[in-house]
Amino acid sequence: MSSRDEKLKILGHRTLIIILVNLLAFFFIVARLYYLQIFEADKYRTMSDENRISTRFLVPPRGTIYDRNGVVIAKNEQEFQALLLAEQTPDVSQTLQKFKNIIKLSGDEENKIDAELKKHRHFIPIKLKGNLPWDEVSKIMLNAPDLPGIEINEGLSRRYPYADLYAHVLGYVGPVAEQDKKDSPIYMVPGFKIGKSGLEKSLDYKLQGHGGTVKLEVNAFGRVMKEIERNAGSIGDSVQISIDTRLQQAAYQAFGENSGAAVVLDVHSGEILALVSTPSFDPNLFTNGISYKNWNELLNNERKPLVNKAVSGQYSPGSTFKIVVALAALEAGVIDANTRYYCAGAMEISGSRFHCWRHAGHGPQNVVEALKNSCDIFFYETALRVGIDKIHNMALRLGLGQPLDVGLDNQKNGLIPSQQWKKTVKDAVWTKGDSANAGIGQGYVLITPLHLATMLARVVNGGYAITPTLLKTTPQTAQKAKFLNIPQRYIEIVKQGMFEVVNAPGGTAARAKFNYNGAKMGGKTGTTQVRRISMKERKSGIIRDENLPWRLRNHALFIGFTPIDEPRYAVAVVVEHGSSGSGVAAPIASQILQKALELDIR
Amino acid sequence: MRYNSLDNRKDSIYGKLQRLSISYILLIVLLALIGTLTLYSAANGSWEPWAIRHISRFALAFALMPGLALIDVRQYYKYAYLFYFMTLLLLVAVEVSGHIGMGAQRWINLGFFKIQPSELMKIGMVLFIARYFSAITIQGIHAIRGIIIPVVMALLPVGLIILEPDLGTAIMLLLTAAVMLFAVGVQWWKFALVAVLIAATLPIGWNFLHEYQQNRVLTFLDPERDPLGAGYHIIQSKIAFGSGGLLGKGFLHGTQSHLNFLPEKHTDFIFTMFSEEFGMLGGLFLLFINLLVLLMGYLFAFRTRNYFARLVIIGLNTNYFLYIFINIAMVMGLLPVVGVPLPLISYGGTVMFSIMASFGIILCMSIHRDSSGNFDDD
Dump pLDDT digits (tens) for A290-319. Answer: 777 888 888 888 889 999 999 999 999 999
Query: What CATH number is attached to the domain comprising A479?
Result: 3.40.710.10
Check CB contact under 8 Å for B255 and A48.
yes
First-residue to last-residue Cα distance in chain B: 27
Domain range enclosing A96: 56-240
Cα-based distances in Å from B173 to A159, B151, B177, B373: 76, 11, 6, 26
Which residue in the set A17, A29, A220 is minimally distant from B260, CB to CB? Answer: A220
> Do residues A229 and A322 both lie within one domain?
no
Structural domain includes residue A245: no
What value does the CA radius of gyration of chain B take, rounded to a whole number of Å? 21
Paired with A516 in beta bridges are A519
B269 contact residues in A (CB cutoff 8 A): none
Residue A559 has pLDDT above 80, yes or no: yes
Report the chain B residue with the minimal C-alpha distance to residue A36.
Answer: B242
Banded model confidence at residue A382, pLDDT cuts 50, 70, 90: very high
In this structure, the dihedral spanned by the alpha carbons of residues A433, A438, A441 and A446, taken in order and rounded to 10 degrees, is 120
Least confident of A269-278, A287-296, A411-420, B89-98: A287-296
Check CB contact under 8 Å for B255 and A25.
no
Domain range enclosing B69: 11-373
Question: Per-residue b/e over B18-32, b at no fewer than 16 CB within 10 Å?
Answer: ebbbeebbebbeebb
In this structure, the dihedral spanned by the alpha carbons of residues A16, A20, A23 and A28, taken in order and rounded to 10 degrees, is -160
Q: Which of A188, A221, A240 is the last residue of a domain?
A: A240
Residue B1 has pLDDT above 70, yes or no: no
Report the chain B residue with the minimal C-alpha distance to residue A24.
Answer: B325
B279 contact residues in A (CB cutoff 8 A): 37
CA distance A20 to chain B (A): 11
Structural domain includes residue B157: yes
pLDDT at B233: 84
Asked if residues A276 and A168 have their Cβ atoms less than 8 Å apart, the reply is yes
CA distance B305 to chain A (A): 8
Residue B102 has pLDDT above 50, yes or no: no
Residue A225, helix vs strand vs coil:
strand
> Do residues A373 and A522 both lie within one domain?
yes
Dump pLDDT digits (tens) for A330-365. Answer: 999 999 888 899 999 989 898 888 989 888 889 999
Asked if residues B211 and B354 have their Cβ atoms less than 8 Å apart, the reply is no
Q: List, as own/partner pairs, every contact residues A328-331 make where C-beta atoms lie below 8 angstroms and the sequence separation is at least 24, other chains included.
A: A328/A386, A328/A390, A328/A391, A328/A393, A328/A394, A328/A395, A329/A367, A329/A382, A329/A383, A329/A385, A329/A386, A329/A390, A330/A367, A330/A490, A330/A493, A330/A494, A331/A390, A331/A394, A331/A486, A331/A487, A331/A490
Alpha-helical runs (H) found in A355-465: 367-373, 376-386, 388-397, 419-421, 432-439, 449-460
Mean pLDDT to the nearest integer, A174-185: 69
Dump pLDDT digits (tens) for B104-113. Answer: 556 666 655 5
Structural domain includes residue B38: yes
pLDDT at A509: 85
Mutate to test the interface with A, among B224, B259, B262, B307 (most CBs of A within 10 A): B259
Check CB contact under 8 Å for B305 and A8.
yes
Alpha-helical runs (H) found in A235-366: 245-254, 284-287, 292-300, 309-312, 322-332
A19 contact residues in B (CB cutoff 8 A): 295, 298
Structural domain includes residue A446: yes
> Do residues A233 and A349 both lie within one domain?
no
The values of phi and psi at residue A503, to 5°, are: -105, -20
Banded model confidence at residue B218, pLDDT cuts 50, 70, 90: confident
Burial category of A299 from C-beta neighbours within 10 Å (exposed 0-12, middle 13-18, buried 19 and up): exposed
Residue B3 has pLDDT above 50, yes or no: no
Burial category of A112 from C-beta neighbours within 10 Å (exposed 0-12, middle 13-18, buried 19 and up): middle
Query: What CATH number is attached to the domain comprising A202?
Result: 3.90.1310.10
Angle B208-B211-B214 (CA atoms, 0-180°, nearest 5)?
Answer: 80
> Do residues A403 and A549 both lie within one domain?
yes
- Give the Cα separation of A247 and A599 in Å (integer): 8
Largest CA distance in chain A: 156
Domain count within chain A? 2
Paired with A261 in beta bridges are A277, A574
Paired with B108 in beta bridges are B115
Q: Which of A216, A240, A264 is the last residue of a domain?
A: A240
Mean pLDDT to the nearest integer, B318-335: 94
Angle A366-A369-A375 (CA atoms, 0-180°, nearest 5)?
Answer: 90
B228 contact residues in A (CB cutoff 8 A): none
Check CB contact under 8 Å for B332 and A19.
no
Least confident of A259-273, A469-483, B32-46, B265-279: A469-483
- Give the Cα separation of B369 and B378 in Å (integer): 16
- Helices A388-397 and A322-332 cross at an angle (nearest 10°) of 110
Structural domain includes residue A4: no
Structural domain includes residue B142: yes
- Give the Cα separation of B108 and B112 in Å (integer): 11
The fraction of chain B above a pLDDT of 70, given in percent, is 88
Check CB contact under 8 Å for B318 and A45.
no
Mutate to test the interface with A, among B190, B228, B241 (most CBs of A within 10 A): B241
CA distance A152 to chain B (A): 28
- Give the Cα separation of A200 and A222 in Å (integer): 36
> Do residues A443 and A326 both lie within one domain?
yes
Label the pairing between strands B108-109 and A569-575. Answer: unpaired
Check CB contact under 8 Å for A29 and B294.
no
CA distance B172 to chain A (A): 15
Least confident of A44-53, A58-67, B67-76, B104-113: B104-113
B180 contact residues in A (CB cutoff 8 A): none
CA distance A123 to chain B (A): 15
Residue B115 has pLDDT above 90, yes or no: no
- Give the Cα separation of A440 and A357 in Å (integer): 11
pLDDT at A330: 93
Report the chain A residue with the minimal C-alpha distance to residue B374.
Answer: A4
In A446-546, DSSP assigns E strands to: 464-465, 482-483, 515-516, 519-520, 522-528
Residue A561 has pLDDT above 90, yes or no: yes
pLDDT at B6: 44
- Give the Cα separation of A329 and A96 in Å (integer): 77
Asked if residues A446 and A415 have their Cβ atoms less than 8 Å apart, the reply is yes
Which residue in the set A8, A45, A217 is minimally distant from B307, CB to CB? Answer: A8
Domain count within chain B? 1
pLDDT at B4: 44
A576-580, B11-15, B304-308: range with highest mean pLDDT: B304-308
Check CB contact under 8 Å for A4 and B261.
no
Check CB contact under 8 Å for B184 and A14.
yes
Label the pairing between strands A72-84 and A212-218. Answer: unpaired
pLDDT at B109: 66
Residues belonging to chain B = 378
CA distance A124 to chain B (A): 17
Mean pLDDT in chain B?
86
Label the pairing between strands A173-175 and A150-159. Answer: unpaired
Check CB contact under 8 Å for A14 and B238.
no
* Selected residue with higher pLDDT from A98 and B343: B343
Structural domain includes residue A211: yes
| H/E stretch holding A153 | strand A150-159
A27 contact residues in B (CB cutoff 8 A): none
CA distance A27 to chain B (A): 10
B236 contact residues in A (CB cutoff 8 A): 51
Structural domain includes residue B303: yes
Dump pLDDT digits (tens) for B121-177. Answer: 999 999 999 999 998 988 889 999 989 999 999 999 999 988 877 888 999 999 999
Residue A541 has pLDDT above 80, yes or no: no
CA distance B243 to chain A (A): 4
Q: List, as own/partner pairs, every contact residues A507-511 make where C-beta atoms lie below 8 angstroms and the sequence separation is at least 24, other chains included.
A: A507/A372, A507/A373, A508/A372, A508/A373, A508/A374, A508/A581, A508/A582, A509/A558, A509/A560, A509/A581, A509/A582, A509/A586, A511/A582, A511/A583, A511/A586, A511/A587
pLDDT at B81: 95
Structural domain includes residue B4: no
Check CB contact under 8 Å for A41 and B243.
yes
CA distance B179 to chain A (A): 8
DSSP assignment letter at A183: S
Banded model confidence at residue B263, pLDDT cuts 50, 70, 90: confident
- Give the Cα separation of B237 and B193 in Å (integer): 37
- Give the Cα separation of A588 and A250 in Å (integer): 10
Check CB contact under 8 Å for A18 and B301.
no
Q: What is the DSSP string of A186-213?
A: GGGSTT-EEE-SHHHHHTHHHHH-B-EE
A43 contact residues in B (CB cutoff 8 A): 242
pLDDT at B2: 43
Residue A185 has pLDDT above 70, yes or no: no
Check CB contact under 8 Å for B298 and A28.
no
What value does the CA radius of gyration of chain A take, rounded to a whole number of Å? 36
Cα-based distances in Å from B272 to B167, B239, B280, B285: 22, 9, 10, 14
B240 contact residues in A (CB cutoff 8 A): 44, 48
Check CB contact under 8 Å for A25 and B314.
no
Structural domain includes residue A296: no
Burial category of A97 from C-beta neighbours within 10 Å (exposed 0-12, middle 13-18, buried 19 and up): exposed
Least confident of A463-467, A479-483, B304-308: A479-483
Chain A residues at the B interface, defined by Cβ less than 8 Å, are 3-4, 6-8, 10-12, 14-15, 17-19, 22-23, 25-26, 28-30, 32-34, 36-38, 40-41, 43-45, 47-49, 51-52, 217-221, 225
Mutate to test the interface with B, among A2, A29, A217, A226 (most CBs of B within 10 A): A29
Report the chain B residue with the minimal C-alpha distance to residue A8.
Answer: B307
Residue A417 has pLDDT above 70, yes or no: yes
pLDDT at A422: 92
CA distance A21 to chain B (A): 10
Least confident of A258-267, B45-54, B87-96, B221-230: B221-230
Structural domain includes residue B127: yes
Count of pairs with CB atoms under 8 A, one residue in A, one in B: 140
Mean pLDDT to the nearest integer, A278-299: 83
DSSP assignment letter at A1: -
* Selected residue with higher pLDDT from A5 and A582: A5
Report the chain A residue with the minimal C-alpha distance to residue B141.
Answer: A7
pLDDT at A424: 92
A522-531, B209-218, B338-347: range with highest mean pLDDT: B338-347
pLDDT at B5: 43
Report the chain A residue with the minimal C-alpha distance to residue B282.
Answer: A33
* Selected residue with higher pLDDT from B129 and A287: B129
Q: Which of A222, A240, A258 is the last residue of a domain?
A: A240
Structural domain includes residue A294: no
Check CB contact under 8 Å for B241 and A14.
no
Q: Among A201, A565, A243, which Cα is nearest to A411's?
A: A201
Mean pLDDT to the nearest integer, A27-34: 96
